[in-house]
Amino acid sequence: MRKRKRGNGDSEEGAAPWLLTYSDMVTLLLTFFVMLFSMASLDIQKFTQVSQSIRKAFLYDSSGDRFLQNKSARDLIGTTASEEEERLKNAVQKVTEEMEKLEISEYVTVIEEEEELVLRFDSVVLFELGKADILPSGQEVLLKLGSILKELDNEIIIEGHTDNLPINTLLFPTNWELSTKRATNVVLFLVEKSGLDPAKLAATGRGEFKPIRPNDTEENRSKNRRIDIIILK
């Protein structure tokens, strides 16, 4: 069998079409990669512009390592915080004044903490012993309170608490049910009668498990029976 060598023995005319096709392919590939490079360069340019815009928006310097102290932003944040504090301060003042007018200030305690403001009501203001229906006098209190709370944008949690004396009725088998029902009734009243936004309210019952005093005297137990209105800052 005879072997043929390919390449050197071919004529120049036979090689020209193949070389032409190869040359066209290389040219197309080169054009394609040039286009890709141009697009990549354009994206990098856009990315750089976007990055600079983001840095300006978030007050970063050109190195991206240090947060710039922008006076306008600081003033805006400070003003917002001050306005909220002022609204809460005014709310507390109004609550205090209204409770004094109703002559129940001895049953109301205001507790200001770092992340919340607590308006604590002895349950005697709102409920009969062992019951969850709001007293007529308690409704008057909640109407006054609701008009004040409605001015706030804060979320509010209503917590019901009891003493440690056991309860075992058809409606309230344990203090869990009693405390939860009381808190729920307060929330419903504030929504239906005072027009508070239900999305900003929550009701929870804690039973006898978060006392503020030892349950060793009737006076102490009466303080543990309470409704805490917690305004989140």
CATH of the domain at 166: 3.30.1330.60
Going by C-beta distance under 8 Å and a sequence separation of 6 or more, which residues neighbour residue 70?
59
Strand 226-232 and strand 116-122: pairing?
antiparallel
Number of folded domains that form the chain? 2
Quick one: pLDDT band at residue 176, thresholds 50, 70, 90? very high
More confident residue, 77 or 201: 201
Same domain, 39 and 110: no
Q: Are residues 24 and 53 in the same domain?
A: yes
Q: Could you tell me the pTM of the whole model?
A: 0.66
pLDDT at 73 over 80: no
Closest C-alpha to 120, from 88, 86, 158: 158
- In this predicted structure, the answer to whether residue 28 has a pLDDT above a threshold of 80 is no
The mean of the pLDDT values for the chain is 82
Higher pLDDT, 87 or 209: 209
With 60 as the cut, is the pLDDT of residue 69 above it?
Answer: no
Assigned token pair, 76:
């805006």
**Which residue, 230, 143, 226, is CA-closest to 191?**
143
**Residue 61 domain flag:** yes
For residue 32, list its beta bridge partners: none
Q: What angle do CA 105, 106, 112 make, to 5 degrees?
A: 70
Strand 226-232 and strand 201-205: the pairing is unpaired
The structure tokens listed for 114 are 């770092």
Same domain, 94 and 206: yes
Mean pLDDT for the stretch of residues 18-47? 65
Write out the two tokens for 198. 């239900």
Both 141 and 105 in one domain: the answer is yes
221 shares a domain with 150: yes
| Residue 185 Cα distances to 178, 201, 202, angstroms | 11, 12, 11
Percentage above 90 pLDDT, the chain = 61
Identify the band that residue 47 occupies on the pLDDT scale cut at 50, 70 and 90: low
Whether 36 has a pLDDT exceeding 80, the answer reads no
Supply the range of the domain harboring residue 94: 79-232
Task: Compute and round to an integer the Cα radius of gyration of the chain.
Answer: 37
